[in-house]
Amino acid sequence: MPSLSIRPPAVAGMFYPGDAGKLGQTLAALLGAVKPPAVKPKALIVPHAGYVYSGPVAASAYALLAPLHDAIRRVVLFGPTHRVALRGLAVPTVDAFATPFGNVRLDKEAIAAALQLPQVRFGDDAHAQEHSLEVQLPFLQAVLGDFKLAPFAVGEASGEAVAEVMAALCGGAETLILVSSDLSHYQNYAAAQQTDRRTADDILHLRPLTSYDQACGAVPINGLLAAAQRLRLNPQLLDLRNSGDTAGDKSRVVGYAAFAFTETAHG
């Protein structure tokens, strides 16, 4: 058999522990501290900073997935690019993404379907060093069983362009849509709280974000907000904090939030 082409971890040992044992202990502690509501999410918004900063907030979302361990078979992941300028959305050519826990196989069928859309192209350069996608993978490996990944690095695009990809790949109960984004950056603690509360209110009312100052992942968030209207998903705020609440000083903080989007009950 031909060998798999692998994207190696870029930020293991920096954003999260590079040792599998220590990583497992860290995730068990983060997830064990959460008492999740009885919610079955179709989509999540989670932060992507180092685990010491945003891990507790991300865990509030990932803890919801434990009961869906055997149900979710595909994760469609969207995160903003931080290092590479990009028009549209980029998917990788590799077969798998590696973490200290092992390989996460990519969903080649989903990626091929997305490539039929004009806003999607191959772009390994956009994925090679991107942390916004990578930091989500150990959490997913900790809470899900056997799943495949369709990862999208999101650059300059409209929310509707992202929503079109989400709608094409939304599937059924086997598919989770995941958006990776932090909120405000480098304001003082009080100012960040005000900004992030307004941003959370926009998301809860499905109002598009108007500035990257609200969220570095404003474009994929706006894609999810548009898709939520199309797919009749209801948002719920799970946690809203900043680095001043977790592991940083309060003079220059980064905001973090976690949201769950659930399907509207029919009947």
Mean pLDDT of 226-236: 97
What φ, ψ does residue 137 adopt, rounded to 5°?
Answer: -65, -45
DSSP string, 45-62: EE--S-HHHHHHHHHHHH
Query: CA–CA separation, 208 vs 262, rounded Å?
Result: 18
Q: How confident is the model at residue 3 (pLDDT cuts 50, 70, 90)?
A: confident
- Percent of the chain whose predicted confidence (pLDDT) is above 90: 96
For the cut 70, the answer to whether the pLDDT of residue 55 exceeds it is yes
For the cut 90, the answer to whether the pLDDT of residue 1 exceeds it is no
**Cβ neighbours, 10 Å, residue 215:** 28
Report which of 72, 82, 37 is spatially closest to residue 178, judged by C-alpha positions: 72
pLDDT, residue 37, reads 92
DSSP string, 167-179: HHH--STTEEEEE
pLDDT in tens, 71-114: 999 999 999 999 999 999 999 999 999 999 999 999 999 999 99
Residue whose structure tokens are 């082409």 = 5
Q: How confident is the model at residue 267 (pLDDT cuts 50, 70, 90)?
A: very low
pLDDT, residue 248, reads 79
pLDDT in tens, 136-147: 999 999 999 999
pLDDT in tens, 145-162: 999 999 999 999 999 999
Query: CA–CA separation, 44 vs 179, rounded Å?
Result: 6
Q: How confident is the model at residue 174 (pLDDT cuts 50, 70, 90)?
A: very high
Pick the CATH number of 40-263 from 3.40.830.10, 1.10.150.20, 3.20.20.140, 3.40.50.620: 3.40.830.10
Q: What stretches of the chain adopt beta strand conformation (E)?
A: 6-7, 43-46, 74-80, 89-91, 96-99, 102-105, 120-122, 148-154, 175-180, 185-187, 233-242, 253-263
Report whether 74 contacts 51 (CB < 8 A). no
DSSP β-bridge partners for residue 87 = 156
pLDDT, residue 163, reads 98
pLDDT, residue 166, reads 98
Residues in the chain: 267
pTM of the model: 0.97
Query: CA–CA separation, 170 vs 40, rounded Å?
Result: 15
pLDDT, residue 264, reads 84
**Cβ neighbours, 10 Å, residue 25:** 12
